[in-house]
Amino acid sequence: MTVADTTLAELTTLRVGGPAGRLLVADTTDELVAHVVDAWSDEDDWLVLGGGSNLLVADQGFPGTVVVVRTRGIDAETDADGVTVRVAAGEPWDAFIATTVERGWTGLEALSGIPGTVGAAPVQNIGAYGVELSDVLTAVDFLDAETGERSWVPASELALGYRTSTLKHGRRGVVLTVEFRLGTATGDGVPVRYAQLAGSLGVELGTRVAPADVRAEVLRLRGSKGMVLDDADPDTWSAGSFFTNPIVSAEFARTMPVDAPRWQVGDDVKLSAAWLIEHAGVHRGYGVPGSRAGISTKHTLALTNRGGATAAQVAELARYVQVTVANRFGVTLVPEPVVVGDLLA
């Protein structure tokens, strides 16, 4: 990577964003620690960037220090009950999942195809097709910005929830390594936990399927929705699902149309953001006139860069979706990506 003159548009999957005030690249964990400590010693703001798949960066860029994480390394210790795996934060997520399948480690195959790096995964508690990272995450090696101390933080202390954690809200610092507890492959495969995935595999929910087959089908499904990055397909130039599925009270959920999808979450109810957007009248392929940002032609939840879009145009589209859904259903959609700059205020 050429650090000089690099814009954050070149480092994010939405392909928008201006320059960084200072850009540092860490290829080893020691370099990552050194760069982050250096950034903290300044009074300027700092930002740690992995795969850039969950960022919307303003066109003005970021005036502080950006530390790009490119660390590598996978260590595993197998015992009679499974395998403990420690992975450097900069490892590309999907390449790591491919490794788990190849080595016969189970538990993450349904999370295939998600862009980004391993270190970013706990921040969002990523999830898909009936699996969340919290199912197998045991700890993170964390450098704390408040204390300057480095320690292993158990997953139980991260308040992992639906697309959230203390790493996203409140706990400032950087993830250096992530530890997982995975199973080992057996002849009868892994259970399929998600109805859509089971249907596309042609099996009943709960049926055990070979991990490689689960991974292949998940990649196919994500690809059909434009959720697998492809340089040749602008429909994939996005931050993935731009809005989280809203969680509302059971009382509010009863005011929704009867055909609105819903899932019980404790005492509350989760609604489908994609359904809300579509039924508010914002359809796949929609774009604000004159803008190069648009709704994906494959998936209503993805806001895409059709080539040459600006961050301001993406933000304009996001606000339009929020206002349209709020006016129609009284639900305020919450953006999932981290927003850098005053874009959605």
Which residues are identified as catalytic? 163, 241, 336
Helices (H), 118-231: 121-124, 195-201, 211-224
User: Are the C-beta atoms of residues 72 and 30 closer than 8 Å to each other?
Assistant: no
* Tokens linked to 309: 């879009």
Tracing tokens 């960066």 back to the chain, one arrives at 57
DSSP state of 2: -
Reduced to 3 states (helix: H, G, I; strand: E, B; else coil), residue 88 is: strand
Tracing tokens 């530390």 back to the chain, one arrives at 67
d(C-alpha 122, C-alpha 44), whole Å: 26
Residues ≥6 apart with Cβ < 8 Å to 282? 295, 300, 320, 321, 324, 325
Amino acid at 231: D
